Amino acid sequence: MVWIHGGAFVEGAGSEPQYDGAKLARRGVILVSINYRLGLFGFFAHAALTSEAGPNAPLANYGIMDQVAALRWVKANARAIGGDPDNVTVFGQSAGAVSVLTLMTLTNERLFDKAIHQSGSPWAKTIDLRQASIIGEDAARELGLSTASTADQLRSIPASALLRVSDAFFAQGKLGGFHDGRLTTQPIIDGRLIKENPGQAIAEGHFRHVPVLIGMVNGEDSLIPTNGAADAFFADIPLLRLPEAAMAYQKISATDVYGVVNGRKAAIARSAFQDTVFAAPARWLAHAVAASAPSYLYIYDRRSATSELSTGVGHGGELPDLFGATATAPREFGETLRSCWVSFAKSGRPNCGTLRLWLPVGRAGNGFVRLAADATLLNNFRGQRLDIADRLNPYLSIQDHK
């Protein structure tokens, strides 16, 4: 199992204590945690670099190149460390999940055999080489270089200075973020290594057809600001501008979501954010994959077997439970999650917990399984709301996969 950490492509590391893989390894897998270049170190374009690279050399996506190199290393060395090069599962959360989706679309070599996509957004936007080059030129100017900077001048920039600009650009929304209800993120469409948006590639069938486990947590709305910026954020959710949304969300109360809620209006906006950015895209991705390989859907909400009340799990909140290094929940939640992930990695089927027969999407309604101390199948999970959210799908209607 190869772990790709999250962090919006600007922060994080595979060496963080919360990613200690000992408990997963004890279940009979070899866990490899990797690092990759982040921010402007990992995703940078400039006319001088493009001109120097030649017509076929990959550009801009140094972070993705690092991930590819790591997976090649795993394939080459798996047997030497007691593993199987023909049974590699790549898994990642948030930016790590976006990375997994991107790697699925690099079809010219077999880098892995199964994929786990945790809280990514298959409908996320990416920028092309021209747009990335404009950002690169802005960065060069911030560092005192002219628009006509050479490749050698760019390489002479101290790492500390580039890091300062990288952090500033992320804070300003130049390296990603939520705009008009959609997430803009890396990687960059460079036309060479990455030739199209990963979501578009999935829609057109340009991806490696491997079993995929796809899902989210119940509190993805933890990503929404809790200060004065929240109102502007809520107004930026296009789902709530659709006429039929009022009917679909009329029964939402202030207790129906798991983040910080200030009244019913905020609860509706938070629910719509979850549906548009995470739940509907996950369902679409699962159905897109299901046409050619088994796919499995989940929502992790950490509810006990005897209670309908959720303790709430924010974005990334499943990771302490999955790795068990800094547990934040009773032991059974982590045990369930680890058994599902390891079962999928070993066999391509997540047979785990109390749900021993987890059917792939297409054989069990829309296929969402609630993962908690007891795993249960959810019938038509948020069905009407996700159907409405599908209208905002920039790539392909889920109806084409039913």
What CA–CA distance (Å, rounded) separates 119 from 92? 9
Q: Tell me whether residue 46 is one of the annotated catalytic residues.
A: no
Please identify which of the residues 33, 94, 119, 271 carries the catalytic annotation: 94
Burial (CB < 10 A; 0-12, 13-18, 19+), residue 155, is exposed
- The question of whether 315 is a catalytic residue gets the answer yes
C-alpha distances in Å from residue 67, one per residue of 2, 33, 81: 10, 11, 19
Task: Determine the Cα–Cα distance for residues 111 and 254; give it in Å rounded to an integer.
Answer: 45
Q: How many CA atoms lie within 13 A of 86 on its CB side?
A: 0
The Cα–Cα gap between 75 and 71 comes to: 6
State the catalytic residue, choosing from 5, 117, 287, 315. Answer: 315
At a CB cut-off of 8 Å and minimum separation 6, what does 57 contact? 192
Instruction: Provide the angle, in degrees to the nearest 10, between the axes of the packed helices 129-142 and 159-171.
Output: 120
Among 220, 271, 287, 343, which one carries the catalytic annotation? 220
Q: Dihedral sign for Cα 4, 230, 397, 376, please.
A: positive
Q: What is the DSSP letter of 291?
A: T
CA angle 63, 347, 208 (to 5 degrees): 40
Between helix 95-104 and helix 62-77 the angle, nearest 10°, is: 70
**Starting from the edge strand earliest in sequence, which strands make up the sheet with 114-118, in order?**
32-34, 2-4, 89-93, 114-118, 212-217, 295-300, 368-371, 376-377
CA-nearest of 140, 147, 93 to 118 is 93
So which residues are the catalytic ones? 94, 220, 315
